[in-house]
């Protein structure tokens, strides 16, 4: 289901072959070690840059491929289908989330400075939204950036930050006006070599083990006012504009991972026997797998509709919320069922289905929990 879909043309399919080779040659040999270490090698980013996998949507004038978001989607699909959720998530935060904010809201000077470095892998980017006391409720953030002359002084704490250990640049959601509510929030670029910036521990997670995820601390970090991304007080509007792409990204991730779980389960039940015959020959197995196959087909069709809208800049918040809600909830249900077909072996980490099960759980939480997606969708009723 990944390839040969009408949403993609020949150029995208050729690019898919490149991504597939990259996964086999540059991730597979190192993946087990990265999972154990809780972080990828920095060389992973350099190799990704050499292959053209970093920020492919950036115009050629900044050193990018000048592709549309479908090139990003190809990277997402292939790396997640390969089963490499951690390294894939690292790239996705950099490519599909952070890069979008710089392209949409960066000044020309900011674009000239950061986009080429992000494409080359010299600069790894993260975005810091979540705080210990706030999850999906972004209006509750407490990190502050107070203006002092030509500088902002940033103080606060963030948590669950993807690329937190590896990043060189952080897009920080801050409060620049104590009284401004959602209008008092701004996005500020913070270089991680600035005094007062500290990384906390690399968090120990259920899944996505090789994706470094960190606490970040800002102790009176001073940055020039030129590091403001977009308009002061405009963060909420910026987030609402960019979050649909992030949620579509997560939906694509879930679909690719779910497809992989289904495919390896079909292979397994054809080989595993019980009561003298292959599990695949039992009606219960066939019917449940038929349901999963149908759900996957429906999911891919809707994802492709959303990709087509997004390429035309027509993807709405409701579309993206429905895509994320449906794909991640479907993934959770079907991977759970696939583990059941594996029996006790499905509970063993040496079996890929076990890792796919663990990696699936967070998909219904990050990028906006399923409950938030339902709230956003309900507003359009």
Please list the active-site residues: 246
Cα(65)–Cα(58) distance, rounded to whole angstroms?
6
Whose structure tokens read 């948590």?
159
Classify burial at 177, counting beta carbons within 10 Å of its beta carbon; exposed 0-12, middle 13-18, buried 19 or more: middle
Cα(328)–Cα(363) distance, rounded to whole angstroms?
6
Cα end-to-end span (Å), the chain? 32
Neighbours of 160 (CB within 10 A): 20
Whose structure tokens read 């990704």?
48
Classify burial at 29, counting beta carbons within 10 Å of its beta carbon; exposed 0-12, middle 13-18, buried 19 or more: exposed
What contacts 347, CB < 8 A, 6 or more positions away?
A: 339, 354
- Cross-strand pairs, 185: 175
Neighbours of 139 (CB within 10 A): 11
Instruction: State the alpha helices, DSSP H only, in 135-184.
Output: none
- Distance of alpha carbon 29 from its chain centroid, rounded? 23
Cα(253)–Cα(73) distance, rounded to whole angstroms?
9
Angle at 360 between CA 370 and CA 322, to 5 degrees: 30
Cα(268)–Cα(246) distance, rounded to whole angstroms?
33
Contact (CB, 8 A) for 153 and 145: yes
Cα(257)–Cα(96) distance, rounded to whole angstroms?
17
Indicate the length of the chain as a whole number. 381
Q: Tell me the two tokens of residue 27.
A: 């991730």
């Amino acid at each position: 289901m990944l390839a040969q879909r009408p949403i993609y043309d020949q150029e995208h399919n050729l690019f898919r072959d490149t991504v597939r080779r990259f996964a086999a040659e540059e991730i597979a040999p190192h993946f087990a070690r990265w999972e154990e270490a809780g972080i990828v090698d920095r060389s992973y980013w350099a190799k990704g840059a050499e292959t053209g996998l970093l920020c492919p949507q950036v115009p050629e004038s900044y050193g990018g491929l000048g592709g549309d978001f479908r090139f990003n989607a190809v990277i997402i699909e292939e790396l997640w289908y390969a089963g490499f959720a951690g390294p894939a998530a690292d790239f996705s935060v950099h490519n599909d989330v952070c890069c979008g904010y710089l392209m949409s809201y960066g000044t020309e000077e900011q674009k000239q400075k950061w986009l080429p470095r992000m494409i080359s892998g010299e600069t790894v980017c993260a975005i810091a939204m979540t705080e210990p006391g706030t999850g999906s409720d972004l209006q509750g953030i407490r990190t502050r950036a107070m203006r002092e002359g030509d500088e902002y002084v940033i103080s606060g704490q963030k948590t669950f930050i993807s690329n937190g250990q590896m990043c060189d640049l952080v897009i920080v959601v801050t409060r620049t006006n104590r009284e401004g509510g959602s209008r008092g929030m701004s996005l500020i670029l913070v270089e991680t070599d600035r005094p007062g910036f500290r990384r906390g521990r690399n968090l120990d997670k259920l899944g996505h083990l090789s994706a470094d995820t960190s606490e970040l601390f800002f102790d009176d970090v001073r940055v020039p006012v030129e590091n403001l991304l977009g308009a002061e007080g405009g963060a909420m509007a910026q987030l609402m504009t960019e979050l649909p792409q992030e949620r579509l990204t997560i939906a694509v991730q879930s679909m690719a991972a779910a497809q992989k779980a289904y495919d390896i389960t079909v292979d397994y039940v054809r080989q595993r026997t019980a009561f003298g015959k292959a599990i695949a020959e039992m009606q219960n197995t066939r019917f449940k797998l038929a349901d999963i196959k149908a759900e996957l087909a429906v999911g891919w069709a809707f994802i492709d509709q959303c990709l087509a809208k997004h390429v035309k800049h027509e993807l709405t918040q409701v579309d993206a919320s429905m895509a994320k809600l449906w794909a991640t909830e479907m993934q959770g249900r079907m991977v759970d069922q696939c583990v059941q077909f594996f029996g006790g072996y499905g509970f063993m980490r040496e079996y890929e289905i076990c890792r796919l099960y663990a990696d699936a759980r967070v998909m219904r939480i990050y990028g906006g929990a399923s409950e938030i997606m339902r709230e956003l969708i309900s507003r359009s009723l």
